[in-house]
Structure 1
Amino acid sequence: YPHCWRCHNPTIFRATEQWFIGLEKNDLRARALEAVKEVRWIPGWGLERISKMIAARPDWCISRQRVWGVPIVVFYCNQCGEPLTDRKHLDRIVELFRRKTADVWYEMSEAELLGPEARCAKCGSQSFRKGSDILDVWFDSGASHLAVLNETYGLPWPSDLYIEGPDQYRGWFHSSLLVGVGLRGGSPYRSCATHGWTLDGEGRAMSKSLGNIIEPQTIVKQYGAEVLRLWVASQEFTDDVRISETILARLSEAYRKLRNTFRYALGNLFDFDPEKDPLPAADLLEIDQWILFRAEKLVKQCRAWYDEMAFHKVYHAVYDFATTDLSAVYFDVLKDRLYTAAPRSRARRSAQTALYRLNYALVRLLSPILTFTTEEVWSHMRLPAGAPESVHLALFPQPDELAAGLGAEQRKRAKNWDRLMEVRDQVLKSLEAARQEKFIGAPLEAAVHLTVNGDLYPLLQQYAAELPSLFIVSQVTLERQDEKALSIHIGRAAGVKCERCWKYSTDIGSEPELPTVCGACAAAVRQALEG
């Protein structure tokens, strides 16, 4: 015999009368098997799993012998034992439950519950006793959608999503489906997602005996709720997931980088009015157009991943975009224009226009994951006309928002910048080598000489004026050759260091009123003073 887990005495099985829902009655099994095909299962193997369970399961025993619970509303004749099944008498009980809850079953007598007209259909007796069985608790939970998705709460039936662990294919997913099909003719959920279990950093189940439990409250207190949410979003939730102090510390650093992305944008948009200051998209500098096309692709991908509930892909894509495309490239290149160009110049307004579009898209794109941070960012933004007071009332960004106003020609030219970025990567490696050798200190002390072959030379010559800012050096020169595709030589920049932009230039003091700045900075200062 099996033994009781608590007292360790042998357990003896005894057959007793119970209440069942017949799976073949009214074709419930067949209809349930059809209903599951209409549900979106995440992951996809959920369909096969629940289909096999429904196909092979016995009739559903819904009665339990417990002291307390939701009662099965049935009365038995005290004379002959016949159950009372007349609907008109049972509807009276349902109405009492509706007005006073199921507690009336335990508070009122049989006569009070049934009223004076109830008689046994078999022997005519008016003496009854209440049944003592309660409903299977899985029937309770399986009927929860009927209690919630109704006119009282203004919620439509069925629900959009059920989400639970893999054990619920035999539990909540299963019982809810049978109740929904039996009473409403379909599944109570359109989609059903299954998450894995949370393990420690070594892949072990968490338990008090191992001492490896990490309480959510502890994480929130130490790292903040946003880091906990970021951890959840960063995981492939349909698999078992790991958590540890090392993982949380790494995600805390990732959160800091995402937060700093917003800080950079807000800090450089302090004097930008989205209603008055944006440039037409076609007038933006090409590198600004390039980053908007990159962001357009990001938004398109992330929206598709949100629809798939692939939140980990959203997190990794946005994080890579923020740290690689923005922080390591675009923001680095942008600093010179934002800090040294005249406040209302085309160069600076172009940068701010692109920066505003990026920030406005990213804050909405990340709002389901970094809920508090994005709300904080939203509260410090200059919002466009008609924007809601909360980011969580705003709509997701559309991909074409980012590149609105840009046509096929701009999209074609933006591909040039993909090739320029490859050249930039090689130049930065050479600059780092020169810095390690103590030949230069900062990159602005360098002059870069590029020797390139015929395939690459026309492209670099076309963008020659852009190369110093792209490489963040003071000077760049080009030379054509036929052999090697690209050869890079790092030399010392000619001229004197500008006091304002820190670039080395041979025209320092060209404006007598500003003897310590270069010609470009002198023009920017003059334009700023003129307003």
Structure 2
Amino acid sequence: MTDQPDYKSTVFLPVTDFPMKAGLAQKEPAILARWEEMDLYGKLRERRKGRERFILHDGPPYANGDIHMGHAMNKVLKDIIVRSQSLLGRDAPYVPGWDCHGLPIEWKIEEEYRKKKQNKDEVPAQEFRAQCRAYADKWVGVQKEQFKRLGVMGDWDDPYLTMKFDAEATIVSELLKFAESGQLYRGAKPVMWSPVEKTALAEAEVEYEDIVSTQIDVAFEIVEAPNAPELVGAHAVIWTTTPWTIPVNQALAYGPEIDYSIIEVSLGVSDAGDGNLSLEQRRNPLMEALNFKRLVVANELIPHLKARLNNDLRDKSTQPEVSLNAHLKVLSNIRGTDLAGAVAHHPMHALGGFFARPRPFLMGDFVTTDAGTGLVHMAPDHGEDDFALCKAHGINPVFAVENDGKYREDWLWLGGQGSVINPKFVSKDGPICTHLREAGGLLAASDDFKHSYPHSWRSKAKIIFRCTPQWFIPMDRAISDGVIPRCAEEEAILARQGNGATLRGTALDAIENTRWVPERSINRIRSMVEGRPDWVISRQRAWGVPIALYVHRKTGEYLVDKAVNARIIEAFKGAGADAWFGADHQALLGPDYDLNDYEVVNDILDVWFDSGSTHSFVVEGRYGEGVRADLYLEGSDQHRGWFQSSLLEASGTRGRAPYDAVLTHGFALDGQGRKMSKSLGNVVDPLKVIAESGSDILRVWVASTDYFDDVRIGKEVLAGSSDAYRKLRNTFRYLLGALSDFSEDERLPFSEMPELERYMLHLLAKLDADLKAVVDKAADSENWLEFSRYTRALFDFANSDLSAFFFDIRKDCLYCDAKSDLKRRAYRTVLDTLFHALVRYAAPIIPFTAEEVWQSRYPNLEESVHFLEWPEVDGNWLDSGLDDKWTGLRSQRNQVNEAIEPLRREKVIRSSLEADVTMGEQVPSDGVNFAEIAIVARIETGVGDGIVVKPSDWHKCGRCWRLLPEVKEDGALCNRCDEVLGA
């Protein structure tokens, strides 16, 4: 055969400079710089001015360290949503913010003092606060650049900071609204207290970890029992895992419906001898404390008490070869009500004073037989149930435990000692148990009780419940009428609640009128608000917004005067929170009040009140009074944090929630589903991922995950994200190449399209509706904000419908048909439509790549893909008949490809173009060339059974490589190619 000419130069191959290799880590910073130079965010605000607004209010992270994967996941998801709302044509501003007050920052400054062995309390308050402000400001700057590197678009030049003077003034203004409506009180209640940080904590500042504690059984001798005289001389047994509360005990609680027994304890010996106790054993203090002692305990819990007694006996035996055993004999039974009026001695009553007071038995509905002994010792300083029950009987807290967890110096027992969270101090061999044992009051003790216990999530130290004077916002007090403007929403709430709105009732109504995503998350916050205690808003710290109140020294009432409050707010506007600590308080009070009559409150506001007030100075402050956010979005822990504090703050001051909808996402775990931890070495650093792979890869991971639950990230997961990204990038590369010289003159109307092109536009219209259901809340879709569905649909369309199907079939048309051919023009028209749709759809997910793609085709430095709006997709393109027909055709095409593959593997044929196929199934013949669809030489349908493939005996065209009957020898031209070249 003679040499054939090379027709490669005559084929219309795609032409593009768009690289297959992304190089995102190197390209993205340059794209960021361009966005900043052109003021992308500011110009977008100008272009969307006057449009329907969508406000996603940013929950403020703490400014105290580099961002972690949780930050990255949260910010990227917010950015995807904001960008998608802008794509819909809405004005979607994004104002990032930071929480700058409170322990996260203060603790870091204290750490620096501790390293220098200096005492923070010896530093002037103003100097300390200035250091806190500088520290927060430093990390705001660091985190800002890190968030920007993620591709997060927002008002980075004017973010909100809770430490800005105008913010601090607004926070105080919001607090004073609570004061004016009677929604503040100061009271002594047990609150969660950190002895390490020396402050009260909110529930959201606490995390639970498993620990091992000391459990003890303590005997209180009964000295009076009017309803059951036989109890006198017996010992009521209590069980506790907080031995340090025994020095503050003031009463005992019983369950009225519980059946109790009076039991006798005797001891026996099991050894090789005759079973009698030796004289030495009888003199053992433990033996003397227990032998033949009468105890009172709930019937159901006798076996548990016996087990604890025997464990203790074995542990304390002076002769290991001898096994001591407690024998419990029931002498009589009583009902819980028989304990009414009974009185006991504290085990340390010999100390006199506080410990000599009688310990009354009080009926407690909370007493159960789930664990312990069925009797509960009451320390009103250190438990909510204890406090409430004792208060009802006129028993008040004694404030024996100081801020640092030590007993106060003048306390009769263990004064000046502690700390109460020190395991050694409260152990079975520590001073508490030792003294109780010596007094004959300790029945059993062991250091082996495993349970979950609250810790400060900042210092990681154990906390205690401690009664201190604090400021509270009540959950169940009626809000003073006429103070808060009544909107229609609140009027409806008042009508339902009857006797005036309470904060709890208002918040619960607001929950029901909010859209929760996912829907199940409503149950979490509803249960938390239903059961939460009053909100303790005071902290004994230095860095934050003060509770700017004056309390009358005689009446104990705080001053409510709008003129005074207005002066306070103005002072804060001028100098921030520092204005309070260095204020001329007489000037703030004005001529109508004498400062000598008032106490100046210097407690700091709970930072959750700060962040809970941000809607007032960010959303309302920037967009108008009464405006609320369309969406709050944070992790699931914020149901007890920011979601709830914002809800309570707005419910108390506006009678409604500050948001229309709330999205909850899960946490980022390592590749094996474990919590990330430096100690485990499994932390995935987002900054490292960005440096190595680029932000768009991380963003693909975020958008692809089912983030309503906890999600995993690791090398394998990121490799999957990279692969998905690569395939989408290659789709864009093909589109750019195939459209390199496309002009409007080439465009064909829909009515002149071949059936395959009309089918692809049908699929595009379906995709468009699916994607819009995810982003547009007006669609009222159950899939709203489920971007994993959005991303999967987009990527599947690009990979399966386009690259593996449409592009594959039409590459012959693109490469070899004449440029004026109607089929080629139709194909390129659809490609142009696809390009403009896909680059928009992808822009919220991979903003850097979308910008690169757009600039590659339209290199106008004044424009950006992010100025574009949702593509115009004609609903008339939808055609269910075409969908049914082509779904069947694609299935048959797949079957043919599967039948061809073995011949290709065995190199019988090199390409499906060389195959002749017969198949038993019929194929629709109207408007369809199935050989072209299946990319084979020829195909006969309705012939024989199954699918039969054999090499074609036709010859290959030297230009298009198709095997056709008119080609007489390999390398010659087919009719089409001959016509194209001859034109």
Map of 1:10 onto structure 2: 420
Q: How has the CA–CA distance of structure 1 residues 13 and 211 changed in structure 2, closer, same or farther, with 3 Å as cutoff? A: closer
The answer as to 2:938 corresponding to 1:470 is no
SS of residue matched to 2:468: coil
Q: Letter of the aligned partner of 1:521 in structure 2?
A: C
For residues 51-450 of structure 1, what are the structure 2 equivalents within 5 Å?
Answer: 51-76=526-551, 83-115=558-590, 117-120=591-594, 128-152=598-622, 157-273=627-743, 275-307=744-776, 308-381=784-857, 389-397=863-871, 400-401=873-874, 404=876, 406=877, 412-413=881-882, 415-448=884-917, 450=918
CA deviations 1:70-89 (Å, max 9, x no partner) are 11111245788764333322
1:240 deviates by: 0.6
Give the Cα separation in 2 of the matches to 1:71 and 1:407: 61
SS of residue matched to 2:870: coil
Q: How has the CA–CA distance of structure 1 residues 135 and 223 changed in structure 2, closer, same or farther, with 3 Å as cutoff? A: same
Q: Letter of the aligned partner of 1:452 in structure 2?
A: G
Contact residue 2 and residue 10 of structure 1 kept, 8 A = no
Give the Cα separation in 1 of the matches to 2:981 and 2:938: 22
Give the Cα separation in 1 of the matches to 2:556 and 2:878: 83
The answer as to 2:478 corresponding to 1:25 is yes
Q: How has the CA–CA distance of structure 1 residues 29 and 480 changed in structure 2, closer, same or farther, with 3 Å as cutoff? A: closer
Contact residue 110 and residue 128 of structure 1 kept, 8 A = no
Structure 1: 5+ residue stretches without partners: none
1:252 deviates by: 0.5
Contact residue 110 and residue 129 of structure 1 kept, 8 A = no
Contact residue 164 and residue 195 of structure 1 kept, 8 A = yes
Map of 1:520 onto structure 2: 976
Give the Cα separation in 1 of the matches to 2:532 and 2:685: 37
The answer as to 2:521 corresponding to 1:46 is yes
1:413 deviates by: 4.2
- % identical aligned pairs: 40
SS of residue matched to 2:631: strand
Q: Letter of the aligned partner of 1:517 in structure 2?
A: L
CA deviations 1:346-366 (Å, max 9, x no partner) are 011111111111221111122
SS of residue matched to 1:276: helix
Map of 2:947 onto structure 1: 488
Question: What is the TM-score normalised by the length of structure 1?
Answer: 0.86
Contact residue 336 and residue 469 of structure 1 kept, 8 A = no
Q: Letter of the aligned partner of 1:488 in structure 2?
A: I
Contact residue 193 and residue 465 of structure 2 kept, 8 A = no
Contact residue 774 and residue 790 of structure 2 kept, 8 A = yes
Q: Letter of the aligned partner of 2:920 in structure 1?
A: V
Q: How has the CA–CA distance of structure 1 residues 369 and 13 changed in structure 2, closer, same or farther, with 3 Å as cutoff? A: closer
Give the Cα separation in 1 of the matches to 2:600 and 2:632: 36
Q: Letter of the aligned partner of 2:905 in structure 1?
A: Q
1:141 deviates by: 1.0
The answer as to 2:920 corresponding to 1:452 is yes
Map of 2:355 onto structure 1: none
1:473 deviates by: 2.2
Give the Cα separation in 1 of the matches to 2:878 and 2:661: 39
Out of 933, 940, 961, which is 1:502 matched to?
961
1:407 deviates by: 7.7
1:146 deviates by: 0.7
Contact residue 289 and residue 414 of structure 1 kept, 8 A = no
Map of 2:163 onto structure 1: none
The answer as to 2:503 corresponding to 1:34 is no
Give the aligned CA root-mean-square deviation in angstroms: 2.8
Give the Cα separation in 2 of the matches to 1:520 and 1:146: 71
SS of residue matched to 1:41: strand
Give the stretch that moved more between structures: 234-243 or 411-420. 411-420
SS of residue matched to 1:192: strand
Give the Cα separation in 2 of the matches to 1:279 and 1:325: 21
Q: How has the CA–CA distance of structure 1 residues 114 and 234 changed in structure 2, closer, same or farther, with 3 Å as cutoff? A: same
Contact residue 287 and residue 414 of structure 1 kept, 8 A = no
Contact residue 3 and residue 10 of structure 1 kept, 8 A = no
CA deviations 1:167-217 (Å, max 9, x no partner) are 211111111111111112210011111111111111111100000001001
1:492 deviates by: 2.9
Q: Letter of the aligned partner of 1:278 in structure 2?
A: R
SS of residue matched to 2:660: strand
SS of residue matched to 2:762: helix
Contact residue 630 and residue 660 of structure 2 kept, 8 A = yes
Q: How has the CA–CA distance of structure 1 residues 155 and 415 changed in structure 2, closer, same or farther, with 3 Å as cutoff? A: farther
SS of residue matched to 1:194: strand
SS of residue matched to 1:17: strand
Larger relative strand fraction: 2
Contact residue 286 and residue 414 of structure 1 kept, 8 A = no
Give the stretch that moved more between structures: 435-444 or 130-139. 435-444
- Higher RCO structure, 1 or 2 (CA under 8 Å, sep 6+): 2
Q: Letter of the aligned partner of 1:187 in structure 2?
A: A
Q: Letter of the aligned partner of 1:144 in structure 2?
A: T
Contact residue 63 and residue 135 of structure 1 kept, 8 A = yes
Give the stretch that moved more between structures: 328-337 or 102-111. 102-111
Contact residue 755 and residue 927 of structure 2 kept, 8 A = no
SS of residue matched to 2:673: coil
Larger relative helix fraction: 1
SS of residue matched to 1:319: helix
Give the stretch that moved more between structures: 413-422 or 357-366. 413-422
CA deviations 1:32-73 (Å, max 9, x no partner) are 111111111112222222222222222222222222321111
1:291 deviates by: 1.4
SS of residue matched to 2:661: strand
SS of residue matched to 1:303: helix
Give the Cα separation in 2 of the matches to 1:306 and 1:69: 38
Map of 2:125 onto structure 1: none
Q: Letter of the aligned partner of 1:52 in structure 2?
A: S
